[in-house]
Structure 1
Amino acid sequence: MFNNMKQLDTELLVGYIDNLGVDVVRQMLALYIEQSQVYLDDIAETTVNENQSGWQEACHKMKGAAGSVGLSVVHQRLVQIEKSTDDWPHKREYLASLKHENQLAITAFEKWLDSQ
């Protein structure tokens, strides 16, 4: 679905490296990896409890975090699903897709950083 989209906002990330250095950007990624797991767990919990407001809140938090570290595809995916009122089986599918996209984006970020 997102194959033709750029995984990373490299313009943003180059700006971070220019201003903060590669080591700080690596730390940002490490923090994002930790936090994204918390957000994914929170989103998963909302699918168990079928909590619409919790779904929106957890997606919104992760959307901000993904955007701030330049994970374009993950951010866009969260924009699409954050306010979804689809049924919970569909939301569980969205969550599975989001986990996959998040891992792809983290891998792309790591590879990109290694090339800097």
Structure 2
Amino acid sequence: MVTIQHLNLTLINGYLEVLDIGVLQQMLDLYVQQSQLYLTGIDEAITQTDQKLWQEHCHKMKGSAASAGLLQVYDKLVAIEKSAEEWSVKEKHANALRLVNQQAIDAFKEWLSGQ
């Protein structure tokens, strides 16, 4: 099951104890919107070769991913946020982040549909 590896089920099940499933869906929808903004900002940082902008958008997305219980997205951001690697490497990190982010969103949707 892909869900287990992507999601912090302890956190999400804790949310479910106090929040309606509809609120969790809204939380995911908000995360999807915000993560797209962060990914756009990360792309902008790469284009401008701006380390401060890179760290800022990675940091914000990391917090959002943690709040949404998206473990692998959070872990990837922890690994790359303060990266001092070449911009071509950072671009590869951004592409990998985009992929793991979509997988995590899909896993969350799958989990929601099973509730």
Q: Structures share a fold, TM > 0.5?
A: yes
Show the counterpart of 1:19: 18
Show the counterpart of 2:49: 50
**Counterpart secondary structure, 2:84:** coil
Identity of aligned residues (%): 45
**Counterpart secondary structure, 2:7:** coil
* TM superposition score normalised by structure 2: 0.96
Task: Map 1:1-116 onto structure 2 (within 5 A).
Answer: 6-116=5-115
* TM superposition score normalised by structure 1: 0.95
Tell me the CA shift for residue 13 of structure 1.
0.4
State the distance in 1 between where 2:111 and 2:70 align. 12
**Counterpart secondary structure, 1:98:** helix
**Counterpart secondary structure, 1:6:** helix
Q: Which amino acid aligns with 1:104?
A: Q
**Counterpart secondary structure, 2:106:** helix
- Runs in 1 of length 4+ with deviation above 3 angstroms? none
Tell me the CA shift for residue 71 of structure 1.
0.3
Tell me the CA shift for residue 21 of structure 1.
1.4
Q: Aligned Cα RMSD in Å?
A: 1.1
State the distance in 1 between where 2:46 and 2:53 align. 9
State the distance in 2 between where 1:79 and 1:106 align. 18
Q: Which 5+ residue runs of structure 2 have no aligned equivalent?
A: none
Q: For CA contacts below 8 A with separation 6 or more, give which structure has more relative contact order.
A: 2
Q: Which amino acid aligns with 2:98?
A: K
